[in-house]
Every structure is written in structure tokens, then in C-alpha cells.
Structure 1
Amino acid sequence: MSAAGAAQAQTAPAPLEAHVWPLSATVSDDGVLSLAGIDVTTLAEDFGTPAYILDEGHFRARARLFVESFTQAFAPLGTSVDVYYAGKSFLSVAVAKWAREEGLRVDTCTGGELAVALRAGVPGAEIGLHGNNKSDSEIARAIEARVGRIVVDSFAEIERVAAAARAAGRTATDPVPVMVRVTTGIHAGGHEFISTAHEDQKFGISLAGGQALAALTAVLGHPELELLGAHTHIGSQIQDAEAFEVNARTMLGLREDLHAATGYLMPELDLGGGYGIAYTPDETPIDVPSLARDLAGVIADVCTELGTTVPRISIEPGRAIVGSTTVTVYTVGVVKPVTIDDGSVRLYVSVDGGMSDNIRPALYDARYTARLANRTGSAQTVRARVVGKHCESGDIVISDIALPADIAPGDLLAVPATGAYGRSMASNYNHVLRPPVVAVDAGQARVIVRRETEDDLLALDLG
């Protein structure tokens, strides 16, 4: 069928999969996607493409879900839970403000992220600082800002943080609060590069050979440091709660080992994040209330077995809060049929962005879905591959997807679940300008991170 013929064979627009798209997403009878009551054709006209469109109400709802679920699950145990928003997933001044307004703290892992949180007005006591290779200046700034925790990642860093604490005049009466990051050997996550608790990688101190126990003991030997507890993070995009439960048991065992060896019972355990979302219709996001109840049950049982009090718990969701809030809107450019090795035809659909605004498919073989967003399109579909505009054959947004056969230059294509690690990992490869982040809420749209300009690029080039 020709494109013209296909265009005549219209059908009702496919419904939106609620677990993939933002809460406010709707689609009209003529196939136009809207977010928070604003259709994407208007958003594209007003802000250009590509653009990240972030549903503020959805972000706030996800933040509240974590706070409420974990508070309700752990209150009967006589303890509380601090929910730290993992800023690495996506951080801006506006987002940091929203997180704090919804009862979250903010986890940072560089001086830049720390600067954004502080600019947003987040008190130092509600900020954590991570990082496997913190600079002296990052450590000093964290101490100056009186962050609520510095998560130390190596034996050498224990000594460096202690030295920085002494240099800042901190003593046993006013110690710097720290946690020790522990690798528990529990492998979880959708790709080797995002499974972070196995021993052969850069993060943390291993349980093996008593190393983690020795690190915790070493912190206790520094009066200018306060050992809050142990921290662990087992991976990312995990959709099964069992790994988190096993990890919690392991960490409680380490807590008791330190107690038996030194008499010190750590008041807190940080169980990290890594909670999975749905990127495609066939994936199932982790059930947050169920996860909270399961973890609370495991922790209660283990503490009863060990005869110890239940520690204060902290967690660090990032993707699970911001991931599904955002849709990237692209404009379609070149549409090209290509005959592939098996003799079939694949339609290559090029968009005006690509790996510079979403590197995850190239890094992790990450899968996404998409839909034609400015009209219904033909009932007939074709096998397609959505690709970017960069000078790389691996510049693929979606490797294999069925799209309307009449998709054409000028159409808008919307890719959901791009809130996490889209803008935060964006680059200027090929000197492409990074897209804006546009927050939408109750029929209003505002830019919270503006689009880069050529002047921004050239301002860094000193000739």
C-alpha cells in the first residue's frame, strides 16, 4: 500500500499504557498526545524539538508514594525511613525543590550535584554525598555545608575525610557523619554496567575477607567522624524485590558483626535504590507499597532473630521517581526503507536528536517504546528502527518497533520513560545542542532547564 493509501486507512488511536506514560498523558480521538492538558503540537511549537516534557504532578505523586509506603510499612517496627532522591537520575534546582517539598532528602555524587541541591535551598543536613573518587575540594565543601552524610568508598577515603574534618576544626563533640559503602556480592540489575554490588567493580568495600568490617572499625577509630551506618547499592532497574530482601539480611548481619566485635550498634542502614520502572508495555514496574512491606517484614524478622533493635533505614530511589514522568518529543526527519540481510525491509525513521539526548540504548542496549504523537496515522504498520542524527551507526533510539506506515517528515514522535539518565547523561556530541526540560502541570508549561545555544558552545572555546 502506498503512503497515500495507508493514510486513508485510519484507525482509532491505540490507548496509552498507563504504566509507561506519565499520569497526565492522554490521547485524543485524532491521535494527538497531550501532557497535563497541553497537546504536544503546541509544546513543540512553543519550545521546539527535541524536548524533554516532564509531568510535575507525576513526579510529586511518585515522591509521595515512596514516603508514604515506607513510612507506613516501617512505623509498626518503631523506626523511620529517610527517602533520598538520587540526583544522578536527573537533578535541577526545580526538581530538588519539588523533592524536598514532598518530604524527600537529596543524594548527590559530585560537587556539581551538591551545588545544585544547595542552590535549591536544600539544607546540608538533608543532603548526602557519594562518589568513588571525591576530590579534596568536594569533601571540604560537603563538610563546610554540613551534609547529613558523606558515604566513604575506600580505606584511603576514610583517612582523607578524617583529615578534612580535622582541618575544618571538627572534633568528637562535633563530628562529621559518615557511612561506609559496602559491596555485598549480591548481583542485580539489567546490565553488567549497572549491577553494582559484585566485587569486581569500582564501588565500595567488599564484605569478603572482613574488609567491610575492618573499614567500619577504622571509622570508629576517628573521633572526628561519626559512623552513622553502612550503605549498599546492589544495582539499577531491578524489578524483583527478592534481591533487596537478601541484601537487607546481609547488611543486618554485618551490623551485628560490628556490634559483636566493637560493642557499637550502627543506628542506620542505607539500602540504596535501583527500583525498576517500565520502559516498554511488556515490562512491569516494581510495586512500591509491596516492596516496602516486604523489606519491613524481612528487617523485623532478622532483628528479632539477632535480638537487636531495628535501625533507622534510608533508601535512594531516583529512576523510580523521575523515570516515568518524562516524554522526549522529537520531530521526524528522513524516513528511509532499507533492505536488510534476510531480504525484508526495515524503515529507518530519523529524528532530530538521538544518542546525545538518550545514550542508554548505546550504553546498555536499553529498550524504549514510542508513538506517533501529532495524529493517528495509518492502520497499517511497518517494521521500523528509530535512529538519531549523529555520525554513529550505533545512534539508535529504538532498535525495533512497529510504526504507522505513513509516518513522514515533520511528524512528532514521543518516547516515554526518559526522565532518568536522559538529560543527566546528555552530551554535545557532534556539537548538537542539549534539549530543554519543560515542566508541565495543570495546563501550564515552563522551562526549568533551557535549551543550549550555539553561544553556550562557543563560550567554552577559547580559540
Structure 2
Amino acid sequence: MFVSDCLNVNELGHLTIGGRDTVELAQTFGTPVYVMDEQQIRKSCESYRESINKYYGGQGLVAYASKAFCCKAICKMIDEEGLGLDVVSIGELYTAQSVNFPPEKIFFHGNNKTVQELLAALEYEVGHIVVDNLTELEILNQLAISQNKKANIMFRIKPGIDAHTHDFVRTGQIDSKFGLALETGEAMQAVKAAVGMSHINLKGLHCHIGSQIFDIEPFQHAAQVMLGFMAEIKAQTGLELSELNLGGGFGIKYLPEHDPVEYDRYMMLVSQTVKTTCQEKGLKTPFIIIEPGRSIVGPAGITLYTVGSVKEIPGIRTYVSVDGGMGDNPRYILYQSEYEALIANKAGQPKTRTVTIAGKCCESGDLLGENMPIQEVAPGDILAVLATGAYNYSMSSNYNRISKPAVVMIKDQQARTVVKRETLEDIVRNDLL
């Protein structure tokens, strides 16, 4: 019925998440508010963890891509579930450190890491620094020398895969700001340079082909390309790399018609490709890392808003304005990302209206979606946008000096705030006269 398993309708006809009435949650915590179901998050973690152990015989690790949603509570939860952590900034690394996340299970990504970030990674002794380019490699080696440490690294490689997704979230093709290209010889040049560096320990390769991918074939193709390159490295340098990070990008169900691949089927088919290709190339099967983010937290979250006005323009469209918008979810204006929405206090009723959901920002493009089917709607109704657990809080802003919403977590039908709602004082906290 819904895009997420944690959603339902109660006897009052209200939408529930994790067994809690969303109308009551809106009244208690105010709107806009992000609400997430902890059980759903942990269930996804468990599914990935069991699947990778099953198909790689314990020689694999799931690392949560924290850019999807990062706060202290989620980092602690990911650690409790036995997963690793993918961070892309000193802020995400600091958040992980604040809850004593095991540094050996952290992967530090980014296409333009600063000296400050590289030093922080060395100081915290993160397990892997995923090096993006030759400049970064040279800087890291010099920093490691100065700190008398040896940096464990992977190289981010562009495997040249078209993942059939939005241009802005395709990251595996040659024309991308991320990683080293195979076609130009740049990647092999970096490998040979790293092999000769005294304070660099090259452990493996990483790739990421894009986001919100529903097909398995691009992942299989990427594995073949990466293993082929690992075989070339072995032939040219004598070094057989021991680790392969295949990234993330697994699609989720934003709309009822979306049909994402089950995690277990993905793991089974890609593992078969990995093992077959290794046999063909004369390689030992490497330790495999994957980095899901959206698929762990996306389906577990919703955003609740209060409807302010309903503006009908006859023969054109109906605008339903809510007390949030592009500040708490910029994905529609960035990617035209589609979501399912409904009136939470009328969730048991049929969807009879088609509307455009407008935010409150002073910006004509501030929309959460167009031509969206919802129930009959009136001012004061609670509107829920589903599957917003990923890249909503993470990408939120203070445009128009609007405060960021709170994040509320549901566990065993109990609700707790894991990120406080910003206050007006928070808005001016860093201002100087």
C-alpha cells in the first residue's frame, strides 16, 4: 500500500509510522518535522549485513554512506549494527568521532579534501582514505611523512559506466569530477606513484557509478571493469590488491510504481560476477566493501508539514502551500525528484485531487512536487511526504533564514528528538556586528 513498510493507517484513518500516529506527532513536535523509524533502519542494516556475509563468506563489509543522513544518533546506530562508515568531510568525520565510531571501519571520501581534513584522517587513524587524484596523493604522502604515519588508501576509479540515472547523480563515467580515469592512463599512473611512496599503503580500489539505480547489470559491469584493472595492476607492478569497494547507489521506492532490486538478489548476482571474473583473471577474491546510504535511511523517513493555504487557479493548477519547502527538501528543484505525498489526517481516504505542493520560501521554484495526487485538502491539514529519510535533512538550508526542522526517531512506538529544531537564536548565532 505504501512505499515503506513502516507506514500504515490506524483506526482514525491517520497515517502512522513505526506504529505512531503522525497527526499526534505533528501536534507534539510541531511542523515541519522529519520523522524516522529506527526499526526500519536497523532492519535494512541487518539485511545488508547478512547478505554480504552470506555471499562473500564473511569477507565483506557494509559501510553506511553518511552523506545520506548524518547525526550522532545514526552514527551510533550504524556502529551498533556492525557496519562501517563512509564520510566525505571533516564534519562527518567529527560527528563519527564524537560517538567513538571505530576509526578502522571509516572510509574517508571526497574529490577535494583539504590539508585539515587529511590531517584529521591521519590523526584519527581512519581505516581508509579514498584518494581521488594525484595531487591529493602527493599531499597525503608528505603529510604522512611529517606525522610519521603510513596512510592506508584506496583509489577512486571512474569505470566508465552509464548507470541510466540523472546527469547530476551519475558519477562513474569519464566526464565526472570524481576519481581517476582508466582510459587516459591516469589511474595506472597514480597506482605506480603510490607503490613507490614510503608512507602510502595502497590496499584497494573504489568506484561509485551513480545513485538511485534499479538495474543490477551496471553494478556487475563495474565489478568486471574494476577487477580487470586490478589484474592489469598485478601484471604491471606485481601488486595484487586485497580490497575492492563497489560503492552504493541502490534505488529505493519513492513512488508506488518503483520496483527496486532486493538487496539479497543484488548481492548474489554481483558476488557471482566477482568470483567468476577473479577466476578468469587469476586473482584472489578481494575483500568486498559496499556503501549503501539512501537505501538504509530513505524509506525509514517521512516529513510532516501543516497546510497553510489552498490556491486554485481554474483550468491551470491548484497550489497547496505548506510550512516548509526547498529549505528542508531541495531535491525537487535540483533533480525534479518525485515523491509520494498524502494528507496524514485523511490517509484512509482516496486520493481525489491533483495538486502542486508549494513551499513558503520567497522563490517561485520552491516546490516539493507537481501533479501530485492527494486526498481532499484544506488549511490546517497535515501533509506527509514519504521516503524523505535520505538527502533531505542532509541537504537542508537556512534560505530566507528559516530554521531547520527537528528530526524525531521512533523506537518501540516511543518518539525521541535526535536533532533539535533550530531556534531563532541559532539563526543569528554566528552573526557579528
Q: Same fold (TM over 0.5)?
A: yes
Could you state the TM-score of these two structures normalised by the residue count of structure 1? 0.92
Q: Which residue of 2 aligns with 1:62?
A: 44
Q: Which residue of 2 aligns with 1:158?
A: 137
Residue in structure 1 matching 2:68, options 83, 89, 94: 89
Q: Which residue of 2 aligns with 1:198?
A: 173
Q: Which residue of 2 aligns with 1:131?
A: 110
Is 2:6 the counterpart of 1:27?
no
Is 2:419 the counterpart of 1:449?
yes
Q: CA deviation at 1:378?
A: 6.1
Is 2:84 the counterpart of 1:105?
yes
Q: CA deviation at 1:214?
A: 1.4
Measure the CA separation in 1 of the matches of 2:334 and 2:375: 28
Measure the CA separation in 1 of the matches of 2:327 and 2:353: 26
Percent identity of paired positions between Structure 1 and Structure 2: 41
Q: Is the 8 A contact 1:189 1:237 kept in 2?
A: no
Q: Is the 8 A contact 2:406 2:421 kept in 1?
A: yes
Q: CA deviation at 1:391?
A: 1.1
Q: Can you list the C-alpha shifts for 1:383-423, whole angstroms capped at 9, x where unaligned?
A: 21111111111111111112223x10110011111011000
- The one-letter amino acid paired with 2:421 is R
| Shift in alpha-carbon separation, 1:345–1:30, aligned structure 2, 3 A | farther
Q: Can you list the C-alpha shifts for 1:311-353, whole angstroms capped at 9, x where unaligned?
A: 01101000010110001011001101013xxxx2421101100
For the pair shown, which has the larger CA radius of gyration, 1 or 2? 1
Measure the CA separation in 2 of the matches of 1:286 and 1:103: 23
Aligned length: 433
- The one-letter amino acid paired with 1:263 is G
Q: CA deviation at 1:276?
A: 0.5
Q: CA deviation at 1:375?
A: 2.8
Is 2:410 the counterpart of 1:440?
yes
Q: Which residue of 2 aligns with 1:291?
A: 266
- The one-letter amino acid paired with 2:19 is G
Is 2:44 the counterpart of 1:44?
no
Q: Which residue of 2 aligns with 1:269?
A: 244
Q: Which residue of 1 aligns with 2:346?
A: 375
Q: Which residue of 1 aligns with 2:122?
A: 143
Q: CA deviation at 1:379?
A: 5.0
| Shift in alpha-carbon separation, 1:377–1:392, aligned structure 2, 3 A | farther
User: Cα RMSD between the aligned structures?
Assistant: 1.2
Residue in structure 2 matching 1:72, options 31, 44, 54: 54
Q: Can you list the C-alpha shifts for 1:74-109, whole angstroms capped at 9, x where unaligned?
A: 11xxx6111110010001111011111111011100
SS in 2 for 1:30: coil
Q: CA deviation at 1:29?
A: 3.8
Q: Is the 8 A contact 2:323 2:360 kept in 1?
A: yes
Q: Which residue of 2 aligns with 1:411?
A: 381
Q: Is the 8 A contact 1:86 1:107 kept in 2?
A: yes
Measure the CA separation in 1 of the matches of 2:128 and 2:419: 28
Measure the CA separation in 2 of the matches of 1:63 and 1:399: 33
Q: Is the 8 A contact 2:10 2:21 kept in 1?
A: no
- The one-letter amino acid paired with 1:228 is K
SS in 1 for 2:425: helix
Measure the CA separation in 2 of the matches of 1:44 and 1:83: 34
Q: Which residue of 2 aligns with 1:281?
A: 256
Measure the CA separation in 2 of the matches of 1:101 and 1:219: 34
- Superposed structure 1 runs of 4+ greater than 3 Å apart: 376-380
Q: Which residue of 2 aligns with 1:207?
A: 182
SS in 2 for 1:34: strand
Q: Which moved more, 1:349-358 or 1:120-129?
A: 120-129
SS in 2 for 1:424: coil
Is 2:324 the counterpart of 1:353?
yes
| Shift in alpha-carbon separation, 1:158–1:376, aligned structure 2, 3 A | closer
Q: Is the 8 A contact 2:351 2:373 kept in 1?
A: no
Measure the CA separation in 1 of the matches of 2:415 and 2:326: 26
Residue in structure 1 matching 2:373, options 379, 397, 402: 402
SS in 1 for 2:55: helix
Measure the CA separation in 2 of the matches of 1:374 and 1:63: 31
| Shift in alpha-carbon separation, 1:376–1:131, aligned structure 2, 3 A | closer
SS in 2 for 1:285: coil
Q: CA deviation at 1:380?
A: 7.0
Q: Is the 8 A contact 1:30 1:376 kept in 2?
A: no
Q: CA deviation at 1:308?
A: 1.6
Q: Extract unaligned runs of 5+ from structure 1.
A: 1-15
Measure the CA separation in 2 of the matches of 1:438 and 1:190: 31
